[in-house]
Structure 1
Amino acid sequence: MMDRRLFPSNGRVAHTALAGKTDAAHFCEGDIWHVNVPVTALMSSDVSETQHRDRELVLHEGFRVLERGRKWAFGFTERDGYVGYVDIHALGILPDAPTHIVSTRQSYLTDAPVLKNSTQMTPVSFGSRFTVVALHEQDRWAQVILTSASEHTSRFGYVPAAHLRNISETEPDIASVAERFLGTPYHWGGNSGLGIDCSGLVQAACHACALACPGDSDMQMSELGSLLPTQTPYERNDVLFWKGHVAIVLDAKTLVHANAHHMAVAREPIDAAIDRIALQGDGPVTAHRRLPQLKEPRHE
């Protein structure tokens, strides 16, 4: 049976890659739209009685829309192919390809490139994408294009340039990226610096280092790196799995994870975390996996 999270069909419409493999009234390639709000949910269904939040998308992430309704758009995320429904009003058109990405846990948008200003500031998350068109005030501020509902409308905002990295660059260390989220509130299904869960943290860190990573911990346990024998010593950037949970190793004795015990992203001694998780009834470590060695940071 196909995993609905990765199966781009709802019976009414399906992606063309599924032609001949499933029944649907219509097959199409779909169109890429972009998120136009700081964070929006990726829902399991468009029926309110049965829907729940699976994951989230952050500002200007791409979503391939296969079907548009009055309230919901059906499709899948560009980052990992996760299938679901997004609020149609949270999507818009980004006229130009993003050039930069937020590399701090949080940043903000403002209407004026002035350090001491009184304009409204909108929080934006790690991973938010922007098209930078100019720099202002001795390169302190990046002028960025904002998603609009119409191809013929352009709006602009300003983001602290120090909070951005070129989208072609990669981070060198997964654990360091994860530590950037320390103190971030735990939020089930979360994928942002405003609130994140265990698998969201792992995916954010992996993607920043140009390592492919699915969205949920069960998929991560199947796909990330190589499985290690029990009792293998822990190394930095190893990933530990429990049933329904995942953490990143910082060193031989410490891990970092988003967890409901602390209700935050926190460091924790590995042995203490293993004992605590077992004591709360969630069982032992189910897998210890080692990620591929990362390449040197790429600058293009």
Structure 2
Amino acid sequence: MDRRLTPANARAALTLLQGKVEAGRFTTGEAASLIAPVTDLLNQPEGTRDRQVLWGEAVTVIDRHKGWAFVQAAKDGYCGYLPETALGPLASPTHRVTAPATHLYDAPKVQARDLASLSLGSLVTVVEDGGKFARTPQGFIPAKHLRPLDQPLDDAAAVAELFIGTPYLWGGNSRFGLDCSGLVQAALTACGKACPGDSDLQQSVGTALADDAPVQRGDLLFWKGHVAMAVGPDRLIHANGHSMSVAYEGIADCIARVIAQEGRPVLARRRP
């Protein structure tokens, strides 16, 4: 089983795995939501970052031990460890942050004290709307930075372009740092399309394209360990270690550069 998607460790596992894995106990899990702006999802307590989860996203808590929680993210099924302090009760979000980043304020005015910085993709519960600021249980957010969950965006490439200049961060999922698969996941999720967390898993998204198929806006190009999104027939956008940022690059130039530097050809093309 893929460790990233298997809700089990040596101490506990979800009941759906009973008879399939060995664990100290089996549980139905505990529903919770993130109450920190961005939290690393680690491969083990005090370990390395696999991915990140954002404010308001739901997780199933499988195990708690010595201040750490082993969880499975509702967004993509990814499993890992995060600090218990990042978790709160399960929320019922109504809106998604669709600006590249925004602030949570303690009052509905631009001069108010900021309480937290939230990235595109964060989930919030709006309890009062109608003005320049939307009120949530935690504070106020500029209304123009939010969109109801039942009104997804319709241009994934345009969402990806909002992140231009964002610094590259391995395993990153926020405006504060992204990797290639984090960028693609953020763009597709904002458009209401389910998307796994890592580039190898994302090769199951949408439909496969022939090598000679004309490139359309939003198409995905995959190399071993990397994914990029087309913004036009000759240009792509990707979070990449070459520029250490989210940047545009010519498709032909990118393919030639990666082959020359790393010997990696394009492995697959998909249309979400």
TM-score, normalised to structure 1's length?
0.87
Equivalent positions of 1:111-122 (< 5 A) are 111-117=106-112, 119-122=113-116
Match of 1:87 in 2: 83
Alpha-carbon distance, 1:173 to partner: 1.3
Match of 1:148 in 2: none
Q: Does 1:261 align with 2:242?
A: yes
CA contact (8 A) 1:243 1:282 kept: no
Equivalent positions of 1:187-202 (< 5 A) are 187-202=169-184
CA contact (8 A) 2:105 2:114 kept: yes
Aligned partner letter, 1:144: T
Alpha-carbon distance, 1:188 to partner: 0.7
For residues 159 and 267 of structure 2, what CA distance do their matches in structure 1 show?
A: 24
CA contact (8 A) 1:217 1:244 kept: yes
SS across alignment from 1:183:
coil
For residues 154 and 29 of structure 2, what CA distance do their matches in structure 1 show?
A: 34
Alpha-carbon distance, 1:121 to partner: 4.6
Alpha-carbon distance, 1:198 to partner: 0.4
CA deviation digits over 1:9-51, x for unaligned, max 9? Answer: 10221111111212222111111111111100000112x4xx2
SS across alignment from 1:237:
coil
Aligned partner letter, 2:234: K
Indicate which of 250, 272, 283 corresponds to 2:231.
Answer: 250
CA deviation digits over 1:153-187, x for unaligned, max 9? Answer: xxx31110110000121111111111111111111
Indicate which of 97, 117, 124 corresponds to 1:123.
Answer: 117
Alpha-carbon distance, 1:87 to partner: 1.1
Q: Does 1:142 align with 2:123?
A: no
SS across alignment from 1:92:
strand
SS across alignment from 1:177:
helix
Aligned partner letter, 2:177: G
Match of 1:295 in 2: none
RMSD: 1.3
For residues 94 and 213 of structure 2, what CA distance do their matches in structure 1 show?
A: 41
Match of 1:298 in 2: none
Match of 1:4 in 2: 3
CA contact (8 A) 2:227 2:238 kept: yes
Q: Does 1:57 align with 2:56?
A: no
Q: Does 1:132 align with 2:131?
A: no
CA deviation digits over 1:34-84, x for unaligned, max 9? Answer: 1111100000112x4xx2100000111111101111221012001011011
SS across alignment from 1:133:
coil
Indicate which of 144, 152, 176 corresponds to 1:162.
Answer: 144
Alpha-carbon distance, 1:282 to partner: 4.8
For residues 166 and 101 of structure 1, what CA distance do their matches in structure 2 show?
A: 6
SS across alignment from 1:34:
strand
Identity within the alignment, %: 46
Alpha-carbon distance, 1:275 to partner: 1.3
Match of 2:269 in 1: 288
TM-score, normalised to structure 2's length?
0.96
1:121–1:12 Cα change, 3 Å: closer
Q: Does 1:182 align with 2:178?
A: no
Match of 1:297 in 2: none
Indicate which of 245, 257, 264 corresponds to 1:276.
Answer: 257
| Count of equivalent residues | 272
CA contact (8 A) 1:242 1:282 kept: no
CA deviation digits over 1:98-149, x for unaligned, max 9? Answer: 11110111011111111233x23521101111111123xx60011112xxxx
1:93–1:282 Cα change, 3 Å: farther
Higher mean alpha-carbon deviation, 52-61 vs 120-129, is at 120-129
For residues 256 and 175 of structure 1, what CA distance do their matches in structure 2 show?
A: 8
CA contact (8 A) 1:185 1:263 kept: yes
**Unmatched 5+ residue regions in structure 1?**
146-155, 292-300
For residues 177 and 64 of structure 1, what CA distance do their matches in structure 2 show?
A: 28
Q: Which runs of 4+ in 1 moved over 3 A?
A: none
Match of 1:31 in 2: 30
